[in-house]
Every structure is written in structure tokens, then in C-alpha cells.
Amino acid sequence: MGGLMDASTLTELSRQKEQILSRIAALSDFRPGSLVERFRRCGKPYCHCAKPGAKGHGPSYSLTRSVKGKTVTKIIPKDQVETTRKQIEEYHRFQQVVSELVETNIKICDTQLTLEKEKQDGSEEAEKRG
């Protein structure tokens, strides 16, 4: 009877996996990274940015991310800042959905192992009986 329960569990987990894959397919464009607003001083002694308490020139925006252990920076135009923020948020959703997919697949694999073990145990019992 435990086998029937595991088979229905496997069916439900497979449905969950399909739903998760549908959610991945529905994601918008995304990108990893951190968006940073920067103000810089130009170094000219008579510029407004050199005055005490001045923020500096800006803001300018840069997106940083790690690629093969190195930090890569991309300048983001002001008119693309909001789009970039949405892409980063979508990347975080992607990470969450992928995490759910991994956990669901682990449960599927564990259930398959259980079913296979029960099948083998049942075969061994049948052989003992004759």
C-alpha cells in the first residue's frame, strides 16, 4: 500500500515540476548584478564638486556582477535605470523558482529511489515464497 502512496506522490511532484517550469518560461528578461548610484569629483579645484559637502557630479549608474571570480562593471544610462532594476528583480525571481525546481527534483529522485527499493523488496519476498 505504501507503493501506491509513493506513486501518487510522484505524480503530484511531477505536476509541481511542470508548473515550476512554466513559471520559468514566463519570466521576463533578467540579469544578475548590483546597481549602484555614484557621484564623483572631477578633480578640478574650482569646480562645484570641489566645495565642502558637495556630492559631486552625477548621479551615474553602474551595474556590477561577478564573472569567473572577477568583478565586471557596466555603465547604465539614466534612462535605462528603471528597466535594469526590473531585470535584477526578475533575476531574483528566477533564482527563487530555480531553487524550488531543485528541491522538487530532489523529492522526485528520493521518491523514485523509495519506489525502486519497495519494488526490489517485493520481488525478493515473492522469490522467498516460491
Question: d(Cα 3, Cα 26) in Å, to the nearest integer?
Answer: 35
Residue 63 CB burial class (10 angstroms; 0-12, 13-18, ≥19): buried
The total of structural domains in the chain comes to 1
**Helix runs in the chain, H state only:** 2-25, 81-129
Tell me the whole-structure pTM to 2 decimals: 0.78
Averaged over successive runs of 10 residues, the pLDDT of the chain (130 residues) comes to 66 96 97 95 91 92 97 97 98 98 96 86 66
Range of the domain at 116: 2-129
